A and B are shown apart, each in its own frame.
Chain A
């Protein structure tokens, strides 16, 4: 027995137009861990055409509890392993990989020309540095950042805010990672989903959080 639709289904043509628009966009992702690797697959599945991926780390066994990698990828650079997995979703996605720690010295060279930056690093110091550097070197480029996603607090506390200027902030703002507040895949992926979806909204012309 068919179940009736309760929501209007977008016309196929409209959906194609939206994906075509996203297909021309190029997003930079700094950090390919819990936030970055999961935001990346959401963006690729949503039709984003190009990603610039940067991370200096290798895949470790301890990453498999929340990051978009597999056991046979342990020891590979995260950028390379992520590229393999994203290409399995969409072989046509354009990927630029940088196995590097991003700082004020190499930021502009790697990320110039992007339409939007997703901050997906771990340390608070690097988060602050990246927002400052991006704001200085790529003024006008929207930044979607995250702060406060650790622990077992409610996922309903994780929201997206348009914080200031061209900066959007995802998270509960206070839950710092620690031994008592580890990172759970479920909560990290909620934050990654917020980052990916805010990026999509901004690129489609809907900047309201």
Chain B
């Protein structure tokens, strides 16, 4: 059988960062091809290349579809051939009906007037095809996430789909919905539709996939024909995580002291869906001089946990107790948390961490203006001195502290955020994805800063999706999945396989990944 789709030697880089290197990938008609890999392994990039989000010319390599080389200029070109991608974040309009959503771009019409009978007839057909028993009139907002996913698929089917790309379709579904969805995929296989399934859930992959490709650091590292050999989960996990340690980590002398932060029985509910428990009665602690990592997949609840601790800046109906240096405290607001000695460096520095239009100086002093403002009037000389001081200490590369923060590189912006929080003189620092989107050199500098903080007797918590980073800098790693801690390892005994296994084991046994939906958290 010849391949319906073949991607040959695809490479793609973003301003110097190589996201894909010589990836070869092919899918046959009537095949379910699973694509697995860590966060940032290049799965989504590969799919964006395929669907034309990154147009021809912006990458190297060739795409062959139906035996012909294709150069997609945008997503319309790929859709015209029947390549349909369904993103993790659903692209449905909540206050429109199922029928309106399915026929949003090309409603059947006569002389420009939408033919409603035809819309309803075809919507019913499509809904029957995906096994969704809902009226075409139902508004999207009234459907659960699982059913919305099916509507997305129905929408794809309305466009004469030849190849369906599903980006973590079951991440936000419960077990029954997931099973139903996978069954649909198997039905499509019978109809000769090729599918690409991106998933973290190896048990699902094992159930439906005909072929598995493992990506790591933008390369194809393993390719498994599921009909020729038995699926070994261990092999897949090892392929996913076993990378060469490209970047090294600074040495440090570890001196762990008294407990500084102790959280017990912490529980948080979703602010919009208050019946959904996002953090499930967890216990967590940090000692002076200790660097604790929190590992987990996106949406595991790590950010939500950190933000709920930080002056209840996320979630509702928060309960549990916090002790700082052995004293029970309550932190009803961010200001109270800062005063108590807690600092939280946000995962998204542009949206949540910095005021990009303001200069470096104003950003550094923002959380501790009182230190430079006796009587609430800012002493600009004192402010300038403090800011310049941090600029030198943290080696922030900027023309001067009056430079607009938005003009700095990612690494330097991150140092500005760190400076802001160091200035508050925290006892415990929570760093959420501190090295995301910054280059290797700046990463090393951030690791050095983390070490200095710990050596100065502060407690440091690092949330990261990059496992080598956690292994390289942490004294202890806690693994979070679906709002609970599912594993804990001493720094020396932790390995990527052990962490990944702890997550996967939990995914399988639990199967109701409710928290996974909160990927893009807003405070």
Q: State yes or no: do A and B come from one complex.
A: no
